[in-house]
Amino acid sequence: MPRTTPDDDGTAAPATPALPGADDPRSAGAAATDARAGLEQALAARSALVRKDSGEIDLLAAAGGIRGIAESVLPGLVFLTVFTLTGNLTWSLGGSVAVAAAFLVARLAQRTPLTMALAGIAGVALSAFLALKTGKAENYYAVGFFTNAGYIAAMVVSIAVRWPVLGLLFGYARNEGVQWRKKPARLRAYRAATWIIVGVMAARLAVQLPLYYAGAVDALGAMRLLMGVPLYAFGLWTAWLVSRPVKAG
């Protein structure tokens, strides 16, 4: 039962809960454990990684759902289609930006989270600016190269410091938290999983950069679409399988 203290009118009133500190019966270790658990729950709630009843990762949810995929793919598809048909850079860029803006307006109207739409329109706007400024259609895809390189660098660093990114994501999805870091086999598995995504992003650069330097806009746009969400989803699924815990017995 909660402790009580006498009130001014003689009745008993609940005492103000003591703040954690020197007089708190909980140990500092217990408080740290509670804080870590809270962090794990918060990250798990924010993660797009969802498991199906079968235990497999829900790739559609991981990619942001149907809307998330559309927001990722359609602006580039519109740019490629219009440019292929007309050869007009201004129309192609305008169509791409208009599609991204339409997704943002739809989210505003429906009062749904704006993160993906804002990131999408910012990326499309920057890509369009570079292409329009230089007059080269292939520069519409230049931002993606820097983004890929940045992700590769971050993931390689995470592997080197023994905090592989895929371990953080999959660990929360599997209710492992960060306890996997204490188990050499699990750490190796998550490092391998992270290398798989590094390989996916490196493959994008290896295929697309030569097309970019050759000015092959149509082929570059097609490869950008094929090696976007589909390849990422396949890499994520493979990484999930590779990092599965081994069942004893």
Q: What is the pLDDT of residue 129?
A: 92
pLDDT digits (tens, 9 = 90+) for 72-99: 788 888 998 998 888 899 999 999 999 9
First-to-last C-alpha distance (Å) of the chain: 45
The pTM for the full model equals 0.71
pLDDT digits (tens, 9 = 90+) for 179-205: 999 999 999 999 999 999 999 999 999
How far is C-alpha 118 from the geometric centre of its chain's CA atoms? 14
Quick one: tokens of 65?
């759902």
Quick one: tokens of 185?
């086999």
pLDDT digits (tens, 9 = 90+) for 151-173: 999 999 999 999 999 999 898 88
Cα distance between residue 157 and residue 165, in whole Å: 9
How far is C-alpha 80 from the geometric centre of its chain's CA atoms? 25
Least confident of 9-18, 40-49, 84-93: 9-18
